[in-house]
Structure 1
Amino acid sequence: MNIFDELKWRGLVNQVSDEEGVREYLSEPGRVMYCGFDPTAESLHIGNLVPLLCLVRMKRAGHKPIFLLGGATGRIGDPSGKDKERDMSDETVLDMRAAKIEAQVRAFVQRNSDGDADVANNYDWTKNMSALGLLRDIGKHFTINWMLQKESVKNRIVREETGISYTEFSYMVLQGMDFWWLYKNRDCRLQIGGGDQWGNITAGCELIRRKEQGSGYALTFPLITTASGKKFGKSEGNAIWLNAEMTSPYAFYQFWLNTEDADVVNFLKYFTFLDQEQIAEIAESVEKEPHLRLGQKRLAEEVTRMIHGQDELDKVQAATDVLFGGGDIARVDAATLKQALGAAPAITCARGELPDVPQMLVDLGLAKSKGQARKDMQAGGVYVNQQRADADYAPSESDFIGGELLLLRKGKKNYGLVVLG
């Protein structure tokens, strides 16, 4: 299948400048395309997954995708989708973010395809350009009338209280120059991106037409929303990051596991490499046996492996099984269990000075008094490492998972952690 047709089947084609031209361009291997990622944070997030995955899909189809870091455009700020001016970040911070994102991209590509990522940085061809050079050689090919029609500009012009600065107004000129530079120097004729990037991408097509009398193609992805109409990628107002230090692998896995039935088949198309036959089989299970949540489990498994690798996925699944399915506590990684129960109360006990379980329950706030804790144990409502602890149970250091963590539970959902320090 032509990769363009695969993207259409997956529901990932929103706007395209020349559908037949793009299909023909992608009909032969070795074609070049790119997508840009501005260093607005220290990590990419799941909102970046669709374009990131698309570039890898292109690579797996035999093409030559370029992963473009916005070292220059990140210094300006993209007005697309923003209702006010972006705060300028320190250049040292931007360079640090770009380096972290580059490492993240390279790891992702190596894990999910053959070979390394082709990473470029638009700062390399922008840093030595003078203001006069930009205005004479690039700016003269853009008309103000044409730029004012772009949604990213129109939406800000009507906001009299904020407006748009000349700096952000010029963002599409810089992004257009990127496309032109890659067209001329890397034989790149296709730029991809989110739907909000249509104006910026077509600016590049226009510059290539005016400056080189050539043709560049534009392709954007739809805004991903849930079946209920909510914007995809937010969890209680917080972004889900691809960096394990910013969003733990456990929390990442749980985000996908909590996908609604109405969304799971589409998300399998958007966010995995599973083919039509595999997804059709899962869709049948979702329809006939939704209570098994096989679609959600497969989605969480595929995306977590894709981002964090098989080892982290194994740890996360082991912890999930213990907490929700009665899995083997011996298989659990202590660090992952801490991630899973990050909101649970925790206490630290010195080696050789372990209190008894009633005292642990009181210190964790799971019992009001030691007397009440003993009654709870006698009633069979207290568990240590998911095993019922009777009134005579006395913990030892050998009981600690990984030699450092004891898991206490009162009732079905009240957890506490005892750390051996």
Structure 2
Amino acid sequence: MVISKNNKIDLIQTLEYRNIINQITDKNNLKNIIMKKNINLYCGFDPTADSLHIGHLIPLITLKYFQKLGHKPIILLGGATGLIGDPSFKSQERKKQSIYLINEWISKITLQLKYFLDFNCGYNSAIIVNNYDWFNKMNILSFLKKIGKYFYINQMMNKECIKNRINKNIQGISFTEFSYNLLQSYDFTYLNKYFDVILQIGGSDQWGHIVSGIDLVKKIYKKQVFGLTNKLITKNDGTKFGKTENKTIWLDPLKTNPYNFFQFWLNINDSLVYNFLKMFTSIEINTIKDLQKSNKNSIKKNSAQNMLAEYMTCLVHGKNALESAKKITNNIFYKKLDDLSKNDFDMLLVNGINNVILENKNYSLQEILILSKLANSRSHAKNMIESNSIYINNKKNSSILYYFTKKDKIFNHFTLLRRGKKNFCLLYWK
């Protein structure tokens, strides 16, 4: 934490120092307010899946910073806005879901949120609200009369998320999604009135909605409120982490198990890892800088990645899951297979790497590569075998006509199949 001249923690500067803040409204005024008194703030999440993913972590971590200093975090789950769909930076309209499914997703997400914030710490205990509770009681005429009169079409058309859809999508944007901005803006006014919320945080793609909410509060209640956006987390190729992209890393262990979660962070590119240590962890900045310097001349090239992987896996899944992920990683990357016990293989099967359960019959290597999803076709499988990138129990196999035999089955049941250095599948023979 950064300490100000009057020996108080400067939270805004701390978040900037850790490269967490993207944009902020009236920074100096907000900074003065939160250093003098505790505030209520909120962040909204639309339930568009049955789990949060790593793209949601930075807003949650930001709320956690505020709560540690006595401020009260409020999570808004968009039971209503989830029915509409946020058009921000989406090339096409989201698939509409039923209220029953959205409520089911809200229940699961609620359980996940309780791992990140304290919901039983007194005056600044975190709370969860659902905007369906107030929108469900409002009819279209009262909404248009009460809220719609403050929004002007020409201004809304200039918002980036609207312009992108109109200019790049042949169908443009439906009125349903066009109205999303009004709904999120009203959320801020509702929370300001009934929960005394003066700050909204969100990803940088929410900036337009947040500013609209700030303006609406000012027009209706003549009050100043604030907005803060986090930097979006991007992958090695520069695209953002999101559940509509490939290989989403979910927070639900049933969707992304702790081993794969650990491996994701372990394989973060060197160009990103030190910034991620700043953003995602509470490790001292000087420690991160020292680590970066030492790694330039160190043979332990993954020490920063190891630190990040251990911290994040423990944060999301707990100590036991972290120890399991580390043991699995050690077993398949650093140990000889001869040193693994049957219990080690059982653990790999239940908690670890991708696996396929097979009938005890003859399979060709090409068939298994497709079944294990290490290859997407026979020609793809053949090319990988011929290029010497396939290993059976850590031994290279370059025979395109190979069939599995009893000698490939460790403890009569297990075969470790590998493509390249990092893509594994455990075969379990019944």
User: Same-fold call, TM > 0.5?
Assistant: yes
Q: Where does residue 285 of structure 2 map in the other structure?
A: 276
Where does residue 353 of structure 1 map in the other structure?
none
Question: Secondary structure, in 3 states, of the residue corresponding to 2:201?
Answer: strand
Q: Secondary structure at the match of 1:214?
A: coil
2:417 and 2:176 mapped to 1: Cα distance? 56
The 3 A distance-change label for structure 1 pair 28 and 418 is same
| 1:208 equivalent in alignment to 2:217 | yes
Contact 2:354 2:425 in 1 (8 A): no
Residue 315 of structure 1 corresponds to 324
The equivalent position to 1:81 in structure 2, one of 69, 89, 114, is 89
Q: Return the match for 1:195 from 199, 204, 207.
A: 204
Offset at residue 226 of structure 1 (A): 4.7
Q: Is residue 122 of structure 1 aligned with residue 131 of structure 2?
A: yes
Once the 2 structures are TM-superposed, how far is the Cα of residue 167 of structure 1 from its aligned partner?
1.3
Question: 234, 242, 251: which one pairs with 1:242?
Answer: 251
Q: Which residue of 1 aligns with 2:60?
A: 52
- Encode CA deviations 1:189-215: one digit per residue, 9 max, x unaligned: 111111111110111100011001111
Q: Which residue of 1 aligns with 2:353?
A: 341
Distance 2:243 2:265 in 1: 12
Alignment partners' CA distance in 2, 1:418 and 1:33: 50
The reply to whether residue 256 of structure 1 matches residue 265 of structure 2 is yes
Q: Given the alignment, which residue of 167, 173, 184 partners 2:193?
A: 184
Q: Given the superposition, is the C-alpha separation of residues 411 and 280 from structure 1 closer, same or farther in structure 2, using an over 3 Å criterion?
A: closer
CA distance in 1, matches of 2:417, 2:157: 61
Q: In the superposition, relative to structure 1, how do residues 96 and 406 fare at CA in structure 2: closer, same or farther (>3 Å)?
A: same
**Residue 156 of structure 2: which of 128, 135, 147 is its match?**
147
Structure showing greater radius of gyration is 1
In 2, the alpha carbon distance for the partners of 1:173 and 1:45 equals: 26
Q: Match of 2:34, as an amino acid?
A: L
* Aligned residue number for residue 232 of structure 2: 223
Deviation at 1:234, TM superposition (A): 8.0
Q: Which amino acid aligns with 1:148?
A: M
Output the CA distance in 2 between the equivalents of 1:382 and 1:50: 39
Distance 1:153 1:127, change over 3 A: same
Q: Does structure 1 residue 299 correspond to structure 2 residue 308?
A: yes
Which runs of 5 or more residues in structure 2 are unaligned?
1-8, 369-391, 396-406
Instruction: Please report how far the alpha carbon of residue 25 of structure 1 lies from its aligned counterpart in structure 2 after TM superposition.
Output: 2.6
Equivalent position SS for 2:134: coil
Deviation at 1:146, TM superposition (A): 2.1
Q: How many residues are paired up?
A: 383
**Deviations 1:153-211 (CA, angstroms, capped at 9, x unpaired):** 12122246211111111111110111011111111111111111111011110001100
The match for 1:15 is 23
Residues of 2 paired with 1:177 and 1:215: CA distance? 15
CA RMSD of aligned residues (A): 3.4
Shift of 1:243: 0.7
- Picking from 282, 295, 298, the partner of 1:286 is 295
Map 1:359-378 onto structure 2 (within 5 A).
365=365
What SS class does the counterpart of residue 59 from structure 2 fall into?
Answer: helix
Q: Is the 8 A contact 2:394 2:417 kept in 1?
A: yes
String of CA shifts for 1:38-90, please: whole Å, max 9, x gaps.
Answer: 00011111111111211112112221111110111101111101122222111
Go from structure 1 to structure 2 and tell me whether the alpha carbon gap of 1:126 and 1:322 turns closer, same or farther (over 3 Å shift): same
Secondary structure in 2 matching 1:102: helix
Matching residue within 167, 171, 178 for 2:180: 171
Provide the residue aligned with 1:387 in structure 2: none
Q: Retained in 1: the 8 A contact 2:51–2:105? A: yes
Measured in 1, the distance between the counterparts of 2:418 and 2:169 equals 57
**Conserved 8 A contact 1:205-1:218:** yes
Aligned equivalent of 1:70: 78
Q: Which letter does structure 1 place at the counterpart of 2:257?
A: S
**In structure 1, what is the Cα distance between the partners aligned to 2:84 and 2:328?**
43
Unaligned segments of structure 1, at least 5 residues: 350-359, 369-380, 385-392
Could you tell me the TM-score, scaled by structure 1's length? 0.81
1:31 alignment partner in structure 2: 39
Cα distance per residue 1:320-364 (max 9 Å; x no partner): 111112287468473444554315x54467xxxxxxxxxx9x668
Residue equivalent to 1:97: 105
Aligned to 1:219, the other structure's residue is in SS state strand
